Amino acid sequence: MNYKTYDIVLASYLQVSDFIMTDIELHGTKGIFVFDNVDAATLRKYDLNQCTVEPQAFNNALRQLATTVRRMQANV
């Protein structure tokens, strides 16, 4: 089952937590990040601020996703 989110911070967390991103859909100026098989326990952990990730990997993922969305906007 696909999980979609506009939240780039959540998308970055999921990416560095080894969830597979299958697509980025552009809606206006925002990207919708699409992931496979995101479980409710992971989302709850995120919502409760109980996540831990390597900071540099998280920062890199966040910057890469933001850059990808900007490139997609430029190509529309």
Q: What is the tens place of the pLDDT at every residue in 8-45?
A: 999 999 999 999 999 999 998 899 999 999 999 999 99
pTM above 0.85, yes or no: yes
What confidence category does residue 1 fall into, taking pLDDT thresholds of 50, 70 and 90?
confident
Residue 46: phi, psi to the nearest 5?
Answer: -65, -50
Residue 75 reports pLDDT greater than 90: no
pLDDT single digits (tens) 43-69: 999 999 999 999 999 999 999 999 999
- Count, residues in the chain: 76
